[in-house]
Structure 1
Amino acid sequence: MAKSEIRSPLPGVFYRRPSPEEKNYKEVGDDVKAGDVVGLVEVMKTYTEVKSDADGKLTAFLAEDEDAIMPGQVIAELES
């Protein structure tokens, strides 16, 4: 099976859910389609969606909720 990585488009703080009261966008084991949102990156109160570029099953998050991340950092892995 092929593996794909979802990378951060920019530096900031990674969030797995749209707000503290809502559930995570995706969980390990979920099916993901290209274009699905898996999280948000916040920079100076501006939120950017992190979307998958590929279809597959989410096998791992390599960034935890509220982690500081860098551009290009792998946030999650998919298996197709």
Structure 2
Amino acid sequence: MAKQIQSPLPGTFYRKPAPEEPNFIEDGASIAVGDTIGLVEVMKTFHEVKAETAGDNARFQAENEAPVMAGAVLVEMD
């Protein structure tokens, strides 16, 4: 069964720290506990989303700059 990282709150999901910066994590990458996988912006405040579980072969389910709800799956991994 795939492991999941879910959004802790509703807002806009960003895969990179700034528009000109690379993604925090690329599709297919390994993720370690504590890695920042993205940001969720709520009312101009950015909240880091950190992995609470490790896994391989990250597959992002949420697009960059997409609206997400609390509990929405952001990443699945093996």
Identity %: 49
Moved more, 6-15 or 52-61: 52-61
User: Are the aligned partners of 2:31 and 2:58 in contact in 1 as well (CA < 8 Å)?
Assistant: no
- Structure (1 or 2) with the greater strand fraction: 1
Describe the superposition over 1:25-78 as per-residue Cα deviations: whole angstroms up to 9, x where unpaired.
001111110110000000011000111111111331110000000000000111
Give me the TM-score of the superposition, normalised by structure 1.
0.92
User: Are the aligned partners of 1:27 and 1:58 in contact in 2 as well (CA < 8 Å)?
Assistant: no
Secondary structure of residue in 2 paired with 1:41: strand
Gaps in structure 2 of 5+ consecutive residues: none
- Residues matched between the structures, number: 78
User: What is the CA–CA distance in structure 2 between the aligned matches of 1:45 and 1:29, rounded to whole Å?
Assistant: 30
- Structure 1 runs of 4+ aligned residues shifted over 6 Å read none
Gaps in structure 1 of 5+ consecutive residues: none
Give 2:32's aligned residue: 33
Give 2:54's aligned residue: 55
Computed over aligned residues only, the root mean square deviation of the Cα atoms, in angstroms, reads: 1.0
